[in-house]
Amino acid sequence: MTIYKKMHAPGFVRPEWKRLWNLLKIGVPMGLCTFFEVSSFTLMAIFVSRLGPDIMSAHQIVANLTSMCYMVPLSLGIATSVLIAQSLGARWPSVAYECLKRTLKLMVTIAVVMSVLLFLFRSVILWLYTSEVEVHELAMSLILFGCFYYVFDAMQSVSAFALRGYRVTMAPMIIYGVMLWGVGLGLGYQFAFHGEWAGGPYGVFGFWGATATGLFLTGISLTLMALWVGRQFAKDDSHSPDEVKAAIQRAESHKPLS
Protein backbone atom coordinates (compact mmCIF):
# COMPACT_ATOMS: atom_id res chain seq x y z
CA MET A 1 0.00 0.00 0.00
CA THR A 2 1.34 3.37 -0.96
CA ILE A 3 0.71 6.28 1.37
CA TYR A 4 1.29 9.72 0.00
CA LYS A 5 0.23 13.29 0.51
CA LYS A 6 -0.79 15.43 -2.36
CA MET A 7 1.67 18.30 -2.70
CA HIS A 8 0.72 21.77 -3.77
CA ALA A 9 3.07 24.50 -4.86
CA PRO A 10 3.08 27.11 -2.08
CA GLY A 11 1.74 30.50 -2.83
CA PHE A 12 3.19 33.79 -1.71
CA VAL A 13 4.30 33.74 1.92
CA ARG A 14 4.68 37.07 3.61
CA PRO A 15 8.19 37.48 5.06
CA GLU A 16 8.42 37.58 8.84
CA TRP A 17 10.51 40.71 9.04
CA LYS A 18 11.07 40.52 12.78
CA ARG A 19 12.61 37.05 12.55
CA LEU A 20 14.67 38.04 9.52
CA TRP A 21 15.93 41.12 11.34
CA ASN A 22 16.91 39.05 14.37
CA LEU A 23 18.84 36.67 12.12
CA LEU A 24 20.57 39.55 10.37
CA LYS A 25 21.55 41.16 13.67
CA ILE A 26 23.43 37.98 14.54
CA GLY A 27 24.53 36.78 11.12
CA VAL A 28 25.89 39.97 9.54
CA PRO A 29 28.34 40.78 12.38
CA MET A 30 29.45 37.14 12.40
CA GLY A 31 30.15 37.32 8.68
CA LEU A 32 32.04 40.59 9.07
CA CYS A 33 34.18 39.05 11.82
CA THR A 34 35.25 36.35 9.39
CA PHE A 35 35.74 38.96 6.68
CA PHE A 36 38.04 41.10 8.85
CA GLU A 37 40.06 38.08 9.95
CA VAL A 38 40.54 36.50 6.52
CA SER A 39 40.96 39.72 4.56
CA SER A 40 43.60 41.10 6.94
CA PHE A 41 45.91 38.16 6.22
CA THR A 42 45.02 38.18 2.52
CA LEU A 43 45.79 41.87 2.11
CA MET A 44 48.97 41.48 4.15
CA ALA A 45 50.14 38.81 1.69
CA ILE A 46 49.42 41.16 -1.22
CA PHE A 47 51.45 43.95 0.38
CA VAL A 48 54.30 41.61 1.35
CA SER A 49 54.57 40.45 -2.28
CA ARG A 50 55.98 43.89 -3.10
CA LEU A 51 59.04 43.14 -0.93
CA GLY A 52 60.48 40.42 -3.16
CA PRO A 53 60.08 36.70 -3.93
CA ASP A 54 62.25 35.39 -1.06
CA ILE A 55 60.40 37.45 1.53
CA MET A 56 57.07 36.45 0.03
CA SER A 57 58.06 32.78 0.15
CA ALA A 58 59.07 32.96 3.81
CA HIS A 59 55.87 34.83 4.63
CA GLN A 60 53.69 32.23 2.92
CA ILE A 61 55.47 29.36 4.65
CA VAL A 62 54.87 30.81 8.12
CA ALA A 63 51.31 31.86 7.24
CA ASN A 64 50.53 28.34 6.03
CA LEU A 65 52.02 26.77 9.15
CA THR A 66 50.15 29.01 11.57
CA SER A 67 46.93 28.53 9.60
CA MET A 68 47.20 24.76 10.04
CA CYS A 69 47.75 25.21 13.78
CA TYR A 70 44.67 27.46 13.89
CA MET A 71 42.44 24.51 12.98
CA VAL A 72 42.65 23.27 16.60
CA PRO A 73 41.16 26.38 18.28
CA LEU A 74 38.73 26.75 15.39
CA SER A 75 37.33 23.26 16.02
CA LEU A 76 37.11 23.76 19.78
CA GLY A 77 35.50 27.16 19.27
CA ILE A 78 32.74 25.74 17.07
CA ALA A 79 32.07 22.97 19.59
CA THR A 80 31.98 25.52 22.43
CA SER A 81 29.40 27.70 20.71
CA VAL A 82 27.15 24.68 20.20
CA LEU A 83 27.44 23.53 23.82
CA ILE A 84 26.82 27.04 25.17
CA ALA A 85 23.77 27.52 22.95
CA GLN A 86 22.39 24.12 24.01
CA SER A 87 22.93 24.90 27.70
CA LEU A 88 21.26 28.29 27.40
CA GLY A 89 18.36 26.75 25.49
CA ALA A 90 17.92 24.23 28.32
CA ARG A 91 18.01 27.14 30.82
CA TRP A 92 21.31 26.14 32.39
CA PRO A 93 23.46 29.31 32.05
CA SER A 94 25.79 28.09 34.83
CA VAL A 95 26.59 25.01 32.76
CA ALA A 96 27.28 27.23 29.75
CA TYR A 97 29.67 29.33 31.83
CA GLU A 98 31.45 26.24 33.11
CA CYS A 99 31.82 25.00 29.54
CA LEU A 100 33.38 28.31 28.53
CA LYS A 101 35.89 28.28 31.38
CA ARG A 102 36.93 24.68 30.82
CA THR A 103 37.36 25.15 27.08
CA LEU A 104 39.50 28.24 27.58
CA LYS A 105 41.74 26.40 30.05
CA LEU A 106 42.05 23.45 27.69
CA MET A 107 42.74 25.62 24.67
CA VAL A 108 45.37 27.75 26.40
CA THR A 109 47.15 24.58 27.56
CA ILE A 110 47.12 23.09 24.06
CA ALA A 111 48.23 26.37 22.49
CA VAL A 112 51.16 26.78 24.88
CA VAL A 113 52.33 23.22 24.21
CA MET A 114 52.01 23.66 20.44
CA SER A 115 53.83 27.00 20.55
CA VAL A 116 56.72 25.48 22.51
CA LEU A 117 56.95 22.52 20.11
CA LEU A 118 56.78 24.84 17.12
CA PHE A 119 59.60 26.93 18.60
CA LEU A 120 61.82 23.96 19.45
CA PHE A 121 61.40 22.17 16.12
CA ARG A 122 60.99 25.20 13.88
CA SER A 123 64.16 24.56 11.90
CA VAL A 124 63.23 20.95 11.07
CA ILE A 125 59.67 21.89 10.17
CA LEU A 126 60.73 24.75 7.91
CA TRP A 127 63.22 22.56 6.03
CA LEU A 128 60.20 20.49 4.97
CA TYR A 129 58.94 23.57 3.13
CA THR A 130 62.08 24.81 1.42
CA SER A 131 65.74 24.04 0.80
CA GLU A 132 66.58 27.68 0.03
CA VAL A 133 68.87 28.92 2.81
CA GLU A 134 67.79 32.57 2.54
CA VAL A 135 64.10 31.71 2.69
CA HIS A 136 64.66 29.28 5.56
CA GLU A 137 66.56 31.83 7.65
CA LEU A 138 63.93 34.51 7.12
CA ALA A 139 61.13 32.08 7.96
CA MET A 140 63.04 31.13 11.14
CA SER A 141 62.70 34.75 12.25
CA LEU A 142 59.08 35.20 11.20
CA ILE A 143 57.88 32.05 12.91
CA LEU A 144 58.81 33.57 16.27
CA PHE A 145 55.91 35.98 15.82
CA GLY A 146 53.62 33.01 15.16
CA CYS A 147 54.84 31.22 18.29
CA PHE A 148 54.04 34.35 20.31
CA TYR A 149 50.59 35.18 19.01
CA TYR A 150 49.28 31.61 18.63
CA VAL A 151 48.17 31.42 22.27
CA PHE A 152 46.21 34.66 21.96
CA ASP A 153 44.87 33.68 18.55
CA ALA A 154 43.53 30.50 20.14
CA MET A 155 41.97 32.50 22.98
CA GLN A 156 40.21 34.90 20.62
CA SER A 157 38.88 32.09 18.46
CA VAL A 158 37.29 30.20 21.35
CA SER A 159 36.00 33.40 22.95
CA ALA A 160 34.50 34.73 19.72
CA PHE A 161 32.60 31.50 19.09
CA ALA A 162 31.47 31.39 22.73
CA LEU A 163 30.08 34.91 22.40
CA ARG A 164 28.13 33.77 19.35
CA GLY A 165 26.56 31.12 21.55
CA TYR A 166 25.51 33.95 23.87
CA ARG A 167 24.16 35.87 20.83
CA VAL A 168 26.77 38.61 21.29
CA THR A 169 28.19 39.49 17.88
CA MET A 170 28.30 43.27 17.44
CA ALA A 171 31.07 44.05 19.95
CA PRO A 172 33.36 41.26 18.65
CA MET A 173 32.89 42.59 15.12
CA ILE A 174 34.08 46.04 16.22
CA ILE A 175 37.07 44.53 18.04
CA TYR A 176 38.01 42.48 14.98
CA GLY A 177 37.78 45.50 12.71
CA VAL A 178 39.83 47.80 14.93
CA MET A 179 42.48 45.29 15.98
CA LEU A 180 42.97 43.26 12.79
CA TRP A 181 42.46 45.99 10.21
CA GLY A 182 43.46 49.04 12.23
CA VAL A 183 46.38 47.68 14.26
CA GLY A 184 47.39 44.59 12.29
CA LEU A 185 46.97 45.82 8.73
CA GLY A 186 47.03 49.62 9.00
CA LEU A 187 49.84 49.94 11.53
CA GLY A 188 51.66 47.04 9.87
CA TYR A 189 51.63 48.85 6.53
CA GLN A 190 53.08 51.94 8.14
CA PHE A 191 55.88 50.03 9.86
CA ALA A 192 56.58 47.92 6.78
CA PHE A 193 56.89 50.69 4.20
CA HIS A 194 57.31 53.87 6.21
CA GLY A 195 57.75 54.20 9.96
CA GLU A 196 60.79 56.46 9.73
CA TRP A 197 59.60 58.09 12.96
CA ALA A 198 60.17 54.72 14.69
CA GLY A 199 63.43 53.77 12.98
CA GLY A 200 61.72 52.04 10.05
CA PRO A 201 60.82 50.86 7.55
CA TYR A 202 60.90 47.32 8.91
CA GLY A 203 59.62 45.44 5.88
CA VAL A 204 57.87 42.13 6.51
CA PHE A 205 58.78 42.29 10.21
CA GLY A 206 56.62 45.39 10.52
CA PHE A 207 53.60 43.47 9.24
CA TRP A 208 54.15 40.46 11.47
CA GLY A 209 54.89 42.55 14.54
CA ALA A 210 51.72 44.60 14.08
CA THR A 211 49.66 41.48 13.36
CA ALA A 212 50.98 39.79 16.49
CA THR A 213 50.09 42.91 18.49
CA GLY A 214 46.60 43.04 17.00
CA LEU A 215 45.93 39.37 17.76
CA PHE A 216 47.29 39.80 21.29
CA LEU A 217 44.87 42.67 21.95
CA THR A 218 42.02 40.78 20.27
CA GLY A 219 42.63 37.67 22.36
CA ILE A 220 42.73 39.58 25.64
CA SER A 221 39.69 41.72 24.80
CA LEU A 222 37.43 38.90 23.59
CA THR A 223 38.42 36.55 26.41
CA LEU A 224 37.61 39.14 29.08
CA MET A 225 34.34 39.96 27.32
CA ALA A 226 33.32 36.29 27.02
CA LEU A 227 34.04 35.62 30.69
CA TRP A 228 32.11 38.72 31.73
CA VAL A 229 29.10 37.84 29.56
CA GLY A 230 29.13 34.25 30.80
CA ARG A 231 29.30 35.41 34.41
CA GLN A 232 26.33 37.75 33.91
CA PHE A 233 24.24 34.95 32.45
CA ALA A 234 25.25 32.58 35.25
CA LYS A 235 24.10 35.08 37.87
CA ASP A 236 20.53 34.70 36.60
CA ASP A 237 20.60 30.90 37.05
CA SER A 238 17.86 29.91 39.49
CA HIS A 239 19.27 26.44 40.14
CA SER A 240 21.05 25.57 43.36
CA PRO A 241 24.80 24.78 43.36
CA ASP A 242 24.05 21.08 43.86
CA GLU A 243 21.70 21.07 40.88
CA VAL A 244 24.30 22.85 38.75
CA LYS A 245 26.94 20.31 39.78
CA ALA A 246 24.62 17.43 38.89
CA ALA A 247 23.83 19.06 35.53
CA ILE A 248 27.53 19.42 34.76
CA GLN A 249 28.03 15.74 35.53
CA ARG A 250 25.18 14.84 33.18
CA ALA A 251 26.72 17.00 30.48
CA GLU A 252 30.08 15.29 30.99
CA SER A 253 28.32 11.95 30.49
CA HIS A 254 26.77 13.24 27.25
CA LYS A 255 23.29 13.09 28.78
CA PRO A 256 20.71 15.73 27.88
CA LEU A 257 20.09 18.55 30.34
CA SER A 258 16.60 18.59 31.77
Closest C-alpha among 60, 42, 47, 45 to residue 138: 60
Q: Are 125 and 65 in contact (CB under 8 A)?
A: yes
Q: Are 129 and 61 in contact (CB under 8 A)?
A: yes
**In percent, how much of the chain has pLDDT > 90?**
78
Q: For residue 78, which amino acid is it?
A: I
Mean pLDDT to the nearest integer, 185-214: 91
Between CA 120 and CA 131 the distance in angstroms is 19
Return the domain boundaries, the chain: 52-252
Q: Is the dihedral of CA 184, 182, 31, 224 positive or negative?
A: positive
DSSP letter for each residue of 149-172: HHHHHHHHHHHHHHHHHTT--HHH
Q: What is the pLDDT of residues 163-181, one digit of tens each?
A: 999 999 999 999 999 999 9
Place 245 in a pLDDT band, splitting at 50, 70 and 90. Answer: confident
- Which strand (E) or helix (H) includes residue 207? helix 204-235
- Estimate to the nearest angstrom the gap between the alpha carbon of 153 and the chain centroid: 6
Q: How far is CA 222 from CA 2, 38, 135, 137, 200, in A?
A: 56, 18, 35, 34, 31
Q: What is the pLDDT of residues 63-104, one digit of tens each?
A: 999 999 999 999 999 999 999 999 999 899 999 999 999 999
Place 5 in a pLDDT band, splitting at 50, 70 and 90. Answer: low
Check residue 4 and give its pLDDT.
59
Check residue 2 and give its pLDDT.
58
Check residue 29 and give its pLDDT.
95
Place 12 in a pLDDT band, splitting at 50, 70 and 90. Answer: confident
